[in-house]
Amino acid sequence: MTTIASIQRVAMRIRHHLEQGVLKDSELTWTGFLVLWVLWLFGEMQTRYLAEEVGVNRSTLSGVLATLERRGLLTRRGHESEGRLVLVELTPEGGALIDKLFPRFGAEEAFVVGSLSPDSMRRLGNSLRSVQQQLDSDEGKRRRAAPVRDR
């Protein structure tokens, strides 16, 4: 559990650092930023896929989308042929905000990992990708779906 606790502590510290150092002036939450960033990277998306990419459930995403839409940073619209599906897209204002924030994120990322050598950064990245692949494996999916007593 020590490894997971260390990952969690560091992830929370990084998130807090970026929220206070980069997002605060733009009045964005971490989740709000992730929504805008994912849309900036991938373009228009269905809400179910957007929620998965951001790592939140659909009800949480709905509230975040409402806030960002009120601010004029994204738009939502119904799918043309599938009435229940909702598509989300960045507005030009949302894209401009990400364009403005992205260099600051890059600078803060460089600060956060500044004490690591290039080799240490490579090894850390590889290790974290291995953990992610383990979680995304068929066994990881099975374990998440199975009741605890059946593991």
Q: Is the pLDDT of residue 100 over 90?
A: yes
Q: What angle do CA 139, 141, 146 make, to 5 degrees?
A: 90
Say yes or no: 93 and 67 in one domain.
yes
pLDDT for position 144: 87
> What is the percent of the chain where pLDDT is above 70?
97
Number of domains in the chain: 2
Q: Is the pLDDT of residue 151 over 60?
A: no
Confidence band of 82 (pLDDT split at 50, 70, 90):
confident
Residue 22 burial by Cβ neighbours in a 10 Å radius (0-12, 13-18, 19+):
buried
Say yes or no: 9 and 24 in one domain.
yes
Say yes or no: 97 and 42 in one domain.
yes
Say yes or no: 89 and 125 in one domain.
no
CATH number reported for the structural domain that contains residue 81 in this entry? 1.10.10.10
pLDDT for position 150: 60
Say yes or no: 11 and 25 in one domain.
yes
Say yes or no: 31 and 85 in one domain.
yes
Q: What is the mean pLDDT of the chain?
A: 93
Identify the domain containing residue 40 by its residue range: 2-112
Condensed to tens digits (0 to 9), the pLDDT of residues 45-65 reads 999 999 999 999 999 999 999
